[in-house]
Structure 1
């Protein structure tokens, strides 16, 4: 009777390849998964996933877009929101978007600012890349990264908040102002 080593080698190779695929599947992804919402602001906020509803306004008078993402904690009614702004020069490609100052606010009860972070000046403006603009359906899409510094009114320390791998897709309203 002749014994073949072929089935044994095949079994070892299959077992090794399954183990290799399992290890690879555990590796974390670079980009956050897409948002389940149609209109959203999504980013890694200080290393944690932040995915919230997104809205936008286009100021015709200034030629500026304001994109906001916010969430509300019910019970205490605390609203936390990030607003990033940019302008698109007329007749220029979408890639020529000019970033404007950004801010993050924590508002309690609808009118009391409890905490605030903002860009520290023109050298710390967010990086913004517009990837789509539909002026008929009024939808703007893009990617962003921002580092905001806590306002001195709330602390003497130089605390920062970082948004990385950010993306947004919002429906915007047009304002004459």
Structure 2
């Protein structure tokens, strides 16, 4: 059974897909009422499931007429997306960020499901059993090599 966060995420993604643009504006309280949850649950979903790593930009305006605007970031090409991720990933990379980037590469059709699973396993903290920050530095190096290989052989 899916949890409420998964259900809210799916709903918001459907709203974005069904719109004629990659931008939607929502009212947190309306979504919370729809799913009979507290508004902070909507914040949690947006803050964890609609990140830059996953290809979204979020801005919000607080107050009575406030809204949350979710924008889907679509790359012009596969090369542009790989270059963007290379730039964003930096010298240290958390496990969650690496998984989010890998998921995005898979969703955009740049890597296969098998490649995504393999890379996700390699990025896991149990495999990279080093203390922080060395673990995040090593993860970033491995991930950058993965991206460079995609660029070369694509």
TM-score after normalising by structure 2: 0.24
Q: Which structure dedicates a bigger proportion of its chain to helix?
A: 2
Q: Which structure dedicates a bigger proportion of its chain to strand?
A: 1
Higher Cα Rg, which structure: 1
